[in-house]
Structure 1
């Protein structure tokens, strides 16, 4: 089933952005073509931009420690799978230790690479990394897939602890909350929110055979969901029929 995540705050929004960018980087690095390695490098530089705008390392370590404390309180609880709990605690410890072992600022090894930063600067210009603009980059793209993979993996390596921490935190977040089956009447659903612990993200799932997607407007007080159809020749149009979907309100 297609799944849509909608974050309620900038903190979760940043984690989802880095998760998405990392998935694209790793997919393109695994390929062999120079165009895909070009996409991998430019996406890696986008991750650097996202990381630069947030105190991500401190935030990740604090959240990992908070989750570890909360989960330790569940040890011995008969309704909790102790095997799954121990596995998650182990993952948290490994991720936190790896983050702490990296003494420099996240992405610092990339920032210290003058050649990569020259490419980053040119990449902000449409078509700015053509061979006549950056001949050294054109030369690198022609070195062959094994050399390019080796370089890309060395540039990615210092960021892997961050990625692993984000994977764990988002896995815990997505696994929280209860899932409810709902109906959007004439393609629209609204819900007021309350409680002492406001949701940090919502997750929507719809059936594969429904030719629509949700657009969400939400905050800690209310959720507004409108299902639209897509015609690439014009702007999305509102669905006029009832849509079955599931909604999960997630909170760390």
Structure 2
């Protein structure tokens, strides 16, 4: 089982967007109206998360930073230049598509009258009943192929945002290897080297332990505390030793 903990707000936003975008990619191809209801709800969540005014700027800066890092490996005999060119080309493609996008991510969805009305009703518990939104009720009873086509068209406006998020998080994860460690009496701490900024703590553990890791960290220290679930559903500290793996990037 894999857990991830972001060290800053920027990576936290990227992870939230990735979580929602992957959920959307699973829901859209399905055929049931209920799945498509939650696909629309997920689109609206993506719009809310991406409303940060500095998100586009952060993504563009990170794409350019990654490109500069990779360019430093040019002519390195230990690096496949074809693979390097391919990754840099993907970064440049993401940068261009995002830079050319006008307005916020999903701007077309915000300007779509029907979707805008629908979004406001989603915020109301039970607000999409057929007597509230008969036009939405009718849409849900269209053939699945028609609904899927609509969702794919609307989701396309999120593509310039999705690709940079996927790309940057993939590069971040690939930048570190796994290290086997142990939490003594349920607690693990690791001092972080000075002069280096970490952005993501990843933890991999056996799900059969039925333990929950509570992760925290700052520029000096990464910490993990393991908890167990009681019969009443509450969490309490685990007093035993736990073997697991971590990766810091």
Residues 125-160 of structure 1, C-alpha deviation per residue, up to 9 Å, x if partnerless? Answer: 222212122221111111121111111111110111
Give the TM-score taking structure 1 as reference length.
Answer: 0.93
* Residue in 1 that maps onto 2:121: 122
C-alpha contact 2:194 2:220 (8 A) present in aligned 1:
no
Query: Cα RMSD between the aligned structures?
Result: 1.6
Unaligned runs of 5+ in 2: none
Deviation at 1:33, TM superposition (A): 0.3
C-alpha contact 1:102 1:158 (8 A) present in aligned 2:
no
C-alpha contact 2:109 2:154 (8 A) present in aligned 1:
yes
Structure-2 change in CA distance of 1:186 and 1:44 (3 Å): same
Residues 57-84 of structure 1, C-alpha deviation per residue, up to 9 Å, x if partnerless? Answer: 2221121111111111101112323333
In 1: Cα distance, 2:52 partner to 2:136 partner: 27
Number of residue pairs the alignment of both structures matches: 249
* Residue in 2 that maps onto 1:77: 76
Deviation at 1:191, TM superposition (A): 2.2
Residues 17-44 of structure 1, C-alpha deviation per residue, up to 9 Å, x if partnerless? Answer: 0000001111000110000000000011
Residues 173-221 of structure 1, C-alpha deviation per residue, up to 9 Å, x if partnerless? Answer: 1111343211001211122323112211111111243222211122222
**SS of alignment partner, residue 209 of structure 1:** helix
In 1: Cα distance, 2:122 partner to 2:168 partner: 31
Unaligned runs of 5+ in 1: none
Greater mean alpha carbon deviation, residues 46-55 or residues 17-26: 46-55
Structure-2 change in CA distance of 1:45 and 1:89 (3 Å): same
Greater mean alpha carbon deviation, residues 74-83 or residues 117-126: 74-83
After TM superposition, the runs of 4+ consecutive aligned structure 1 residues lying more than 3 A away are: 230-233
C-alpha contact 2:51 2:104 (8 A) present in aligned 1:
no
**SS of alignment partner, residue 227 of structure 1:** strand
Residues 68-104 of structure 1, C-alpha deviation per residue, up to 9 Å, x if partnerless? Answer: 1111110111232333322211211221222223233
* Residue in 2 that maps onto 1:216: 215
Greater mean alpha carbon deviation, residues 175-184 or residues 106-115: 175-184
**Pairwise mapping of residues 25-36 of structure 1 onto structure 2 (< 5 A)?**
25-36=24-35
* Residue in 1 that maps onto 2:89: 90
**Pairwise mapping of residues 130-145 of structure 1 onto structure 2 (< 5 A)?**
130-145=129-144
Deviation at 1:231, TM superposition (A): 5.0
